Chains A and B, each alone.
Chain A
Amino acid sequence: MVKVFQAADATDLVTELRRSFDDGVTRGYEWRVTQLKKLLLICDNHEPEIVSALHDDLGKPELESSVYEVALLRNSINLAVKQLKDWMAPDKAKTSLTTFPASAEIVYEPLGVVLVISAWNYPFLLSIDPVIGAISAGNAVVLKPSELAPASSSLLAKLLEQYLDSSAVRVVEGAVIETTLLLEQKWDKIFYTGSSRIGRIIMMAAAKHLTPVVLELGGKSPVVIDSDTNLKITAKRIIAGKWGCNNGQACISPDYILTTKEFSPKVIDALKQELEAFYGKNPMESKDMSRIVNSNHFDRLSKMLEEKEVSDKIVYGGQKNRDKLKIAPTILVDVPLDSQIMSEEIFGPLLPIITLNNLEECFDVIRSRPKPLAAYLFTQNQKLKERFALTVSAGGIVVNDIAVHLAVPTLPFGGVGESGMGSYHGKFSFDAFSHKKAVLYKSFIGDAAIRYPPYSTGKLRLLKALVNSNILEIFRVILGLS
């Protein structure tokens, strides 16, 4: 009989983890590295089970599971283990004449007890990657995986309990009720991956306790295709980044394409050609794509396709099978800009192409929508690249490729505006779960009388000189010459 998670359980959980944290369990380098290495063991010893759970939950092909979840996690853990000593070391800071004689540094300290709420589309990656950050930074952590990927959620619960120190790392499975109970507690940080709608709810709950948050949300990531690009490679990369990544159900999935009216037919042809090369003439039978996660999302996507003025814009695909939760890779051209499919994040295998008279117009189209998590551009035009990078506001920009920036640990991964706040990956994960404490060391040498009342004109002059770091003036005042 499964015990129901109640309010008292949430309180007890946080109390227990806080005690562990206060006792110093998670602070030491040894503990952190040991936990990270245990996570590595999970990847090494249980990959087949992980692949199987992901197949159960999402129909995810083995390669995607192995590469985009397990391998990425392995890399993330290895990097943390390798760099942790460096990351934990204080940073020296420069002091100035006004604070002389003093030395200063920035000390990294864990925030305490943190909550990680992850999503259903990359349930292992999006659960463990933030946990890697939390542990490296020395926190105690509670993970709440998504209930929409139940096999993954229960495997995560089982493996983390088996391998990690349960006095400081715990998994709570559940849905809205359990999440709400958790959110009522006071956390030292909340890390959430999911939708903008829930992101608001998380931040509002966090506000009650002044808990800082990282919100990794989503948006409609546009792909702008210039006519000077290598179309074959462009098409392949878009397909691999869209249908090849959980069948379009990813936060940085190419959501829609912007290209010129003139170039559009070539783009469509290239996509059709490569889609067939990747998935064959019968993509509904291909085993190389995830299925739609559940019937709710299937119906949501169906509705998008069935909308008036949209259904007649399909130029490729459009087949659906509700029993198998499959929708074929579908391309549409020039659906109305206010249609559902162009108003909300698609998160599925549908790819609208919006054609423009002039590629220039892409900037206005993108700017008229909420800021996305990623924006993509395919071009050889250096000026266009620079203008795009400078003026398109998105979490991250990728030129001439799709989604790869997610795998680069030296680039901060996060959103802006509706697509989120905060970032992680590599050292950014460590920073996300740390407080950078400023420390100033002062000695008793040199106690300037100018600091203290009673105040006088001479003191004011010296003060002004100090503020202007005007050495000459300082000497003159001290020597009474000013």
Chain B
Amino acid sequence: MEAMKETVDQSLREMRDTFASGRTRSVKWRKTQLEAIIEMVKDNEDKMCDVLFQDLGKHSIEAFRDELGFVMRSATTALNSLDKWVVPRKSNLPLLFYPATGKVISEPYGTVLVLSSWNFPISLSLDPMIGAISAGNTVLLKASELSPNASALLAKTIPSYLDNKAIKVIEGGPDVATILLQHQWDKIFFTGSPRIGKIIMAAAAEHLTPVTLELGGKCPTIIDHHSVSKDMKSVVKRISGGKWGSCSGQACISVDYILVEQSFASSLIEMFKPVIRSFFGENPKESGCVARIVTKKHFQRLSRLLNDPRVQASIVYGGSMDEEKLYVEPTILLNPPLDSEIMNEEIFGPVLPIITLRDIQESIGFIKSKPKPLAIYAFTMDEKLKTRILSETSSGSVTFNDVMIQYMCDALPFGGVGESGMGRYHGKYSFECFSHEKAIMEGSLAMDLEARYPPWNNFKLTFIRLAFREAYFKLVLLMLGLKR
């Protein structure tokens, strides 16, 4: 541990010196780093797919779609937009302040810490780093020890592509994180669970470090079967693809549970079965298209959720588990008890409860009774229901008629609210996430208003009152002695 403390001290010192030197402020430097990230991912595509397979059993297409392709596009967007993003924004000043000018410039925070999660270890490491670098910061990454191969690959590869006096990688688990959090950072970006998010924020409070916390929650999916009946097959495909095709349900924006009217429930379940079979074959374990559960600990957690006898009784599809292979079959539940653990913590696995309601309108109240999730999904063409969902529920985001893809839309801020997090990123929001928006105002030494200065008298008081009200005409009258 002493050695680790020494490493952290040294790294921080070096990064701070690098930042102080001004090197990371240059747009050219930032672009070089972004290009290097693209090159790094391109050169190491196979190795990255390998480690994602080793750590999570991800198919290379899943790996490319959710992680590698995503990172390359994110870096490309930043590269193409950076010149625009760094331009100061002019602010219009009220006439009162003429001839002063105002603008806002984006200034890097300095030396930032990125703590990423194990489920998308490449993209959740590199994407925030892209933001930090575009904004001109030096950055230290600690990837999750629960995806050790990905973490090791990043630790080995990043130094040979990026400026390693400005961008560093440290490997390790909670004890390394603790050491890191004892230091002062200019910003901390964390992706993970709400429980750890609280610890991060409390540690950041000691140093008044601003934080972005990308957390999680139970993302509900409303199926208004009345209004989407003719597209129901698409609905089921989209949900299935999103739930079981992306890290086996171990994603912060995974469909956690479904809300549907009682009358449609059994038809819905019957529609899922052939879709799951078409995606994953008769034996999903052998399909190579289903990611595995990340660790034994998480496997046991999911086991525990399913072993509740009342939950067991609600299994209508799947349910088989293989501890050795860390495999859980795509599983559907019908109405597990609302007070069971599986309905009160984020599932983060390939189990999909369907909760039935008498009327789909009840879904609003149901969602409101739970902590604010990262995403709400709703399959409906009913404009009234859409409006109700938007105005009566709160979540990081809402997606109508699809799942997961809001992640891909980099014109949309990606982040949570309440228990699901604070702050946001993607696209320009990543740049802003790692920038301090500094106001700059410039006055003129040429003109001066006597009324600004003591000693105070009634004239000055009236003058300033009128000036503030922007009652310019009255102001002129006052100055001409025509107003009392």
Report A's interface with B, CB cutoff 8 A: 22, 27, 61-63, 66-67, 71-72, 74-75, 93-96, 98-99, 102, 104, 106-107, 109, 111-112, 188, 196, 199-200, 203-204, 206-208, 210, 212, 215, 217, 229-230, 233-234, 236-237, 239-240, 244, 274, 278-280, 286, 288, 367, 378, 380, 385, 389-391, 393-401, 404-405, 407-413, 416-418, 420-423, 435-444, 447, 451-456, 459-460, 463-464, 467-468
Q: Is B406's CB under 8 angstroms from A438's CB? A: yes
Contact of B409 among A63, A440, A444 (CB under 8 A): A440
Residues of B within 8 A of A435 (CB): 394, 417
- Whether A400 touches B465, Cβ cut-off 8 Å, given contacts A410-B91, A467-B72, is no
Q: Is A467's CB under 8 angstroms from B468's CB? A: no
Q: Is B441's CB under 8 angstroms from A460's CB? A: no
Contact of B186 among A94, A98, A417, A456 (CB under 8 A): A417
Q: Is B409's CB under 8 angstroms from A410's CB? A: no
Bound: A437/B414 CA distance, A: 9
Q: Is A452's CB under 8 angstroms from B279's CB? A: yes
Contact of A412 among B97, B241, B439 (CB under 8 A): B439
Contact of B453 among A240, A280, A367, A407 (CB under 8 A): A240
Bound: A397/B76 CA distance, A: 33
- Whether A440 touches B402, Cβ cut-off 8 Å, given contacts A93-B409, A408-B102, A467-B73, is yes
A sample of 6 more A-B contacts (CB under 8 A), given A71-B465, A437-B395, A467-B70, is: A95-B411, A380-B445, A390-B107, A416-B107, A452-B245, A467-B72
Residues of B within 8 A of A418 (CB): 208
Residues of A within 8 A of B423 (CB): 212
Q: Is A204's CB under 8 angstroms from B202's CB? A: yes
Q: Is A411's CB under 8 angstroms from B204's CB? A: no
A258 to chain B, nearest CB (A): 18
Q: Does B112 contact A (CB under 8 A)?
A: no
The interface stretch among B61-69, B123-131, B304-312 is B61-69
Q: Does B408 contact A (CB under 8 A)?
A: yes
Q: Is B197's CB under 8 angstroms from A210's CB? A: yes
- Whether A106 touches B237, Cβ cut-off 8 Å, given contacts A210-B421, A389-B105, A411-B91, is no
Residues of A within 8 A of B107 (CB): 390, 393, 416
Bound: A385/B424 CA distance, A: 33
B176 to chain A, nearest CB (A): 21
Residues of A within 8 A of B400 (CB): 439-442
Bound: A22/B418 CA distance, A: 15
In the complex, the 9 A-B pairs of residues with the closest C-beta atoms, listed nearest first: A401-B443, A203-B205, A207-B201, A455-B61, A438-B412, A467-B69, A438-B397, A396-B439, A411-B439
Residues of B within 8 A of A67 (CB): 461, 464-465, 468
Residues of B within 8 A of A244 (CB): 453-454
A380 to chain B, nearest CB (A): 7
A438 to chain B, nearest CB (A): 4
Q: Is B438's CB under 8 angstroms from A396's CB? A: yes
- Whether A438 touches B414, Cβ cut-off 8 Å, given contacts A196-B208, A401-B443, is yes
Closest to B445 in A: A230
Bound: A413/B440 CA distance, A: 10
Q: Does B474 contact A (CB under 8 A)?
A: no
Secondary structure call for the B interface: mixed
B214 to chain A, nearest CB (A): 12
Instruction: Tell me the B204-261 residues at the A interface (CB within 8 Å).
Output: 204-206, 208, 210, 213, 215, 228, 231, 234, 237-238, 240-241, 245
Residues of B within 8 A of A401 (CB): 100, 441-443
Q: Does B448 contact A (CB under 8 A)?
A: yes
Closest to B450 in A: A236
Q: Does B32 contact A (CB under 8 A)?
A: no
Residues of B within 8 A of A236 (CB): 448, 452-453
B206 to chain A, nearest CB (A): 6
Contact of A104 among B70, B206, B411, B436 (CB under 8 A): B411
Residues of A within 8 A of B171 (CB): none
Q: Is A72's CB under 8 angstroms from B208's CB? A: no
Contact of A203 among B208, B228, B405, B469 (CB under 8 A): B208
Q: Is A416's CB under 8 angstroms from B436's CB? A: yes
Q: List 8 A-B contacts (CB under 8 A).
A: A203-B201, A203-B208, A210-B197, A288-B454, A288-B456, A408-B97, A409-B94, A455-B62
B369 to chain A, nearest CB (A): 11
Q: Is B437's CB under 8 angstroms from A99's CB? A: no
Closest to B70 in A: A467
- Whether A437 touches B411, Cβ cut-off 8 Å, given contacts A203-B205, A393-B438, A416-B109, is no
A317 to chain B, nearest CB (A): 16
Instruction: Tell me the B70-102 residues at the A interface (CB within 8 Å).
Output: 70, 72-73, 76, 91-94, 96-97, 100, 102
Q: Is A411's CB under 8 angstroms from B279's CB? A: no
- Whether A442 touches B61, Cβ cut-off 8 Å, given contacts A104-B409, A405-B102, A453-B289, is no
Q: Is B289's CB under 8 angstroms from A200's CB? A: no
Q: Is A411's CB under 8 angstroms from B102's CB? A: yes
B228 to chain A, nearest CB (A): 8
- Whether A440 touches B231, Cβ cut-off 8 Å, given contacts A99-B408, A278-B453, A467-B73, is no
B39 to chain A, nearest CB (A): 15
Q: Is B208's CB under 8 angstroms from A210's CB? A: no
Size category of the B interface is 35 or more
Q: Is A239's CB under 8 angstroms from B453's CB? A: yes
Residues of B within 8 A of A72 (CB): 468
Residues of A within 8 A of B100 (CB): 401, 404
A313 to chain B, nearest CB (A): 26
A370 to chain B, nearest CB (A): 9
Contact of B93 among A239, A393, A408, A438 (CB under 8 A): A408
Q: Is A451's CB under 8 angstroms from B241's CB? A: yes
Residues of A within 8 A of B197 (CB): 210
Q: Does B455 contact A (CB under 8 A)?
A: yes
Contact of B394 among A208, A437, A442 (CB under 8 A): A437
Residues of B within 8 A of A460 (CB): 60-61, 64
Q: Does B337 contact A (CB under 8 A)?
A: no
Bound: A385/B442 CA distance, A: 9
Q: Does B172 contact A (CB under 8 A)?
A: no
Q: Does B314 contact A (CB under 8 A)?
A: no
Bound: A98/B75 CA distance, A: 16
Q: Does B55 contact A (CB under 8 A)?
A: no
Residues of B within 8 A of A98 (CB): 73, 405, 408-409
Residues of A within 8 A of B390 (CB): 107, 437, 439
- Whether A399 touches B464, Cβ cut-off 8 Å, given contacts A380-B445, A437-B394, A464-B64, is no
Residues of B within 8 A of A397 (CB): 438-441
Q: Is B73's CB under 8 angstroms from A396's CB? A: no
Q: Is A74's CB under 8 angstroms from B417's CB? A: no
A217 to chain B, nearest CB (A): 7
B252 to chain A, nearest CB (A): 14
Residues of A within 8 A of B411 (CB): 93-96, 104
- Whether A455 touches B443, Cβ cut-off 8 Å, given contacts A98-B408, A420-B208, is no
A37 to chain B, nearest CB (A): 16
Q: Does B23 contact A (CB under 8 A)?
A: no
Contact of B69 among A112, A437, A464 (CB under 8 A): A464
A401 to chain B, nearest CB (A): 3
Q: Does B198 contact A (CB under 8 A)?
A: yes
Contact of B464 among A63, A199, A229 (CB under 8 A): A63
Residues of B within 8 A of A96 (CB): 408-411
Bound: A412/B106 CA distance, A: 12
- Whether A399 touches B401, Cβ cut-off 8 Å, given contacts A71-B469, A106-B413, A460-B61, is no
Contact of B441 among A233, A411, A459 (CB under 8 A): A411
Q: Does B273 contact A (CB under 8 A)?
A: no
- Whether A453 touches B194, Cβ cut-off 8 Å, given contacts A389-B440, A464-B64, is no
Q: Is B237's CB under 8 angstroms from A452's CB? A: yes
A252 to chain B, nearest CB (A): 11
B427 to chain A, nearest CB (A): 9
Contact of A440 among B22, B109, B412, B442 (CB under 8 A): B412
Closest to B409 in A: A99
Bound: A234/B22 CA distance, A: 31
